[in-house]
């Protein structure tokens, strides 16, 4: 099959003279018209440290494609910042941006006849957005991760600052100390440095086979990250030559590999949401039950933030995720026959990878952080369609307490910071799901406040919203059906007993059926969905979190 499957329609023959004329205006030469066109989608922007350097990386990619006998064409799509908007109404746009990014990449590439695609992402939603766009287009494609930020000299980061807010509200630190941590903890560029959502998704995408080996762990400002961009040109031309498309790479087995890596690394609950959506976009049947099945046999091995001690930069210095993948392959937990963007199988990519020098960051199978998955898919009368918990075992595996109910994140944060949450409480924040928010805000602000107040192992937190990868503690999110749909979460009242059982994967509201039916008959939704604009469109089209909060 011609590697110019799409561009030839755009520029070949006398009838396309006007199209060629426009392209000459942006620098195309006569020779370029006979080369494969490769779209290079950058999420670069100065709105966040995660993405501030990506346009420079995209220029390296462009040069690499051009020197590999292709024609690289740069374009941009948007990014927002979870970290900046956290705890505000702006956070409602975060998950929405995943769809905007996917739609915009599909739109540009579909319109302009690019034969191949390279995308470069940094902040959380960029990555699944890029992959969803790639999957829909199904043209030879590579994802490049922008890389991690390094921790401060005092070993702090963005999540540290979030938790210091809780310490300040308790009176444990002064405002001067709080501002000190604010000033030193984020020195860009690069994505948040722990095993939060950005690094989780980068690792999942590398394990999926859609990034070149090593891409997920490299520091944002490093020679190895620049080399990752240089290598992409030759790699995309090889994919074009052999017509290797995302559908050849993003198979069910490859998604199972990605899930395995997420668990072994102790990754973010957002990976559940995004992997489900990515699988849907390529036509692979993936469900919440796949996470449970794989989690039974996969230990958590990585001592990484937020619940561990190390940052991604330390893991990168120790070899990145490739040695971990080789360990898992040798244990029979990865499928080595999956094809990757190198054109080789995962097993072939890992053949010459050397083991870690020690087990300081990645523990041995004999001494895991947790013997099975920290990502627990819970069901019960509060979550008929499922919920996602992130429980490492440090918090225990079971919690029963009385509900303290709030109808928005702001109400919950106010109660936490004003000492209204006590030991034994189950904080319930609802109407923050995909439709109810709309936009399914991340609950880092309330969970960080809980940790900063020293209540991390003394209270539980449940929501139909979701969590930042920086969240830790006894937390359950993605509760489906969500409160806005009249799910059982909408019927919880202050003082109700709630049991979270992470051993038996149960989420139970201890209220009898007759009382629940009585409440249901009198329930009225308190939320007001926006009448127009992107949030309105999103609320009308988005599906359940249990299916990945997909919009198509």
List pLDDT tens digits, range 84-132. Answer: 999 999 999 999 999 999 999 999 999 999 999 999 999 889 999 999 9
Please tell me which residue in 148, 191, 468, 546 is annotated as part of the active site: 468
Contacts of 372 (CB under 8 A, 6+ apart): 295, 296, 297, 298, 299, 300
pLDDT at 1 over 60: no
Q: Is 371 domain-assigned?
A: no
Q: Is 5 domain-assigned?
A: no
Domain closes at, from 333, 350, 367: 350
Q: Are 189 and 53 in contact (CB under 8 A)?
A: yes
Q: Is 118 domain-assigned?
A: yes
Predicted confidence band of residue 50 (pLDDT cuts 50, 70, 90) = very high
Q: Are residues 436 and 529 in the same domain?
A: yes
421-to-343, 417, 428 alpha-carbon distances in Å = 54, 9, 11
Mean pLDDT of 358-364: 97
Q: Are residues 387 and 534 in the same domain?
A: yes
Return the residue matching tokens 């991690």.
148
pLDDT at 196 over 70: yes
Please tell me the distance from the alpha carbon of residue 18 to that of residue 326, in angstroms, as a whole number: 52
Mean pLDDT of 273-294: 98
Q: Are residues 344 and 488 in the same domain?
A: no
Q: Are residues 422 and 294 in the same domain?
A: no
The residue range of the domain holding 397 is 377-547
Q: What is the pLDDT of residue 413?
A: 95
Q: What is the pLDDT of residue 173?
A: 95
Backbone φ, ψ for residue 310 (5° rounding)? -115, 160
pLDDT at 60 over 90: yes
Q: Is 392 domain-assigned?
A: yes
Q: What is the pLDDT of residue 332?
A: 98
Q: Is 39 domain-assigned?
A: yes
Pairing state of beta strands 383-390 and 375-380?
Answer: antiparallel
Q: Is 356 domain-assigned?
A: no
* Beta-ladder partners of 321: none
pLDDT at 468 over 90: no
- Percent of the chain with pLDDT strictly greater than 90: 92
* Beta-ladder partners of 117: 39, 141
**Reduced to 3 states, what is the DSSP secondary structure of residue 494?**
coil
Q: Are residues 263 and 125 in the same domain?
A: yes
Q: Are 413 and 130 in contact (CB under 8 A)?
A: no
Q: Are 265 and 202 in contact (CB under 8 A)?
A: no
CATH of the domain at 489: 3.50.30.80
Q: Are 396 and 325 in contact (CB under 8 A)?
A: no
Q: What is the pLDDT of residue 473?
A: 79
Give the DSSP letter string of 138-161: TSSEEEEE--BPPPPTTS--HHHH
Mean pLDDT across the chain, nearest whole number?
A: 96
Predicted confidence band of residue 51 (pLDDT cuts 50, 70, 90) = very high
Predicted confidence band of residue 452 (pLDDT cuts 50, 70, 90) = confident
The CA-to-CA distance between both ends of the chain, in Å, stands at 30
Q: Are residues 340 and 382 in the same domain?
A: no
Closest CA to 246 of 350, 145, 344, 142: 142
H/E run at residue 355: none
Q: What is the pLDDT of residue 188?
A: 86
Q: Is 467 domain-assigned?
A: yes
Q: Which tokens go with 271?
A: 């990976």
pLDDT at 396 over 90: no
Mean pLDDT of 174-192: 96
pLDDT at 335 over 90: yes
Q: Determine whether 468 is an active site residue.
A: yes
* Beta-ladder partners of 302: 362
Q: Are residues 322 and 461 in the same domain?
A: no
Return the residue matching tokens 């329609």.
9
Q: How many domains does the chain have?
A: 2
Backbone φ, ψ for residue 326 (5° rounding)? -65, -40
Please tell me the distance from the alpha carbon of residue 545 to that of residue 152, in angstroms, as a whole number: 35
Contacts of 289 (CB under 8 A, 6+ apart): 377
Closest CA to 63 of 239, 242, 232: 232
Would you report the helix, strand and coil content of the chain in percent, each value rounded to 5?
A: 40, 15, 40
H/E run at residue 328: helix 322-330
Please tell me the distance from the alpha carbon of residue 275 to that of residue 128, in angstroms, as a whole number: 8
CA 89 to chain centroid, in Å, comes to 20
Q: Are residues 286 and 428 in the same domain?
A: no
Q: Are residues 425 and 532 in the same domain?
A: yes
Q: Are residues 417 and 502 in the same domain?
A: yes
309, HSE (Cβ side, Cα atoms, 13 Å): 7
Q: Are residues 335 and 473 in the same domain?
A: no
Return the residue matching tokens 């996470």.
291
| Exposure string over 76-107, b if 16+ CB within 10 A, otherwise e | bbbbbbbbebbbeeebbbbbbbbbbbbbbbbe
Please tell me the distance from the alpha carbon of residue 36 to that of residue 238, in angstroms, as a whole number: 11
pLDDT at 482 over 70: yes
pLDDT at 238 over 70: yes
Q: Is 341 domain-assigned?
A: yes
Contacts of 53 (CB under 8 A, 6+ apart): 44, 146, 188, 189, 190, 220, 221
Q: Which tokens go with 54?
A: 């990506």
Predicted confidence band of residue 469 (pLDDT cuts 50, 70, 90) = confident
Q: Are residues 300 and 181 in the same domain?
A: yes
Mean pLDDT of 317-321: 97
Domain closes at, from 301, 334, 350: 350
Closest CA to 407 of 431, 389, 383, 385: 431
């Amino acid at each position: 099959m011609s590697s110019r499957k799409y561009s030839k329609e755009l520029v070949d023959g006398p009838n396309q003279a006007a199209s060629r004329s426009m392209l000459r205006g942006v620098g195309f030469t006569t020779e370029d018209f006979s080369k494969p066109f490769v779209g290079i989608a950058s999420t670069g922007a100065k709105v966040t440290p995660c993405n501030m350097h990506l346009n420079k990386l995209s220029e390296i990619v462009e040069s690499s494609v051009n020197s590999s006998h292709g024609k690289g064409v740069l374009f941009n799509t948007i990014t927002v910042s979870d970290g900046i908007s956290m705890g505000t109404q702006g956070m409602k746009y975060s998950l929405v941006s995943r769809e905007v990014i996917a739609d915009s990449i599909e739109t540009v590439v579909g319109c302009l006849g690019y034969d191949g695609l390279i995308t470069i992402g940094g902040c959380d939603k960029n990555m699944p957005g890029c992959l969803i766009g790639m999957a829909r287009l199904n043209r030879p494609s590579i994802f490049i991760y922008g890389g991690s930020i390094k921790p401060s000299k005092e070993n702090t980061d963005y999540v540290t600052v979030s938790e210091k807010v809780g310490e300040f509200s308790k009176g444990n630190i002064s405002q001067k100390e709080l501002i000190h941590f604010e000033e030193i903890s984020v020195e860009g560029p690069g994505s948040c440095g722990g095993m939060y959502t950005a690094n989780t998704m980068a690792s999942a995408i590398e394990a999926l086979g859609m990034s070149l080996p090593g891409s997920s762990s490299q520091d944002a400002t490093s020679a190895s990250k620049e080399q990752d961009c240089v290598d992409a040109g030759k790699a995309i031309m090889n994919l074009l030559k052999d017509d290797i498309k995302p559908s050849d790479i993003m198979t069910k087995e490859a998604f199972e590999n990605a899930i395995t890596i997420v668990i072994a690394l102790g990754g973010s609950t957002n990976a559940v949401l995004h992997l489900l959506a990515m699988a849907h976009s390529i036509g692979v049947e993936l469900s919440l039950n796949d996470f449970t099945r794989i989690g039974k046999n996969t230990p958590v091995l990585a001592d990484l933030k937020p619940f561990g001690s190390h940052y991604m930069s330390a893991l990168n210095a120790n070899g990145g995720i490739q040695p971990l993948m080789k360990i898992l392959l040798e244990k029979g937990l990865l499928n080595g026959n999956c094809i990757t963007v190198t054109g080789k199988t995962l097993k072939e990519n890992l053949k010459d990878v050397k083991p870690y020098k020690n087990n300081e960051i990645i523990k041995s199978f004999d001494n895991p952080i947790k013997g099975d998955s920290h990502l627990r898919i819970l069901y019960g009368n509060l979550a008929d369609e499922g919920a996602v918990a992130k429980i490492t075992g440090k918090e225990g595996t079971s919690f029963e307490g009385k509900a303290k109910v709030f109808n928005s994140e702001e109400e919950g944060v106010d109660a936490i910071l004003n000492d209204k949450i006590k030991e034994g409480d189950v904080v319930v924040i609802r109407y923050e799901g995909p439709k109810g928010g709309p936009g399914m805000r991340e609950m880092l602000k309330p969970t960080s406040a809980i940790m900063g107040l020293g209540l991390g192992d003394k209270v539980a937190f449940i929501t139909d919203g979701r969590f930042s990868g920086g969240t830790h503690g006894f937390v359950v999110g993605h509760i489906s059906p969500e409160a806005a749909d009249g799910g059982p979460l909408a019927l919880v009242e202050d003082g109700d007993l709630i049991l979270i059982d992470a051993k038996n994967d149960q989420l139970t509201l201890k209220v009898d059926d007759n009382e629940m039916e009585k409440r249901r008959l009198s329930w009225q939704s308190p939320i007001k969905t926006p009448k127009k604009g992107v949030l309105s469109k999103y609320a009308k089209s988005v599906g359940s979190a249990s299916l990945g909060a997909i919009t198509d």
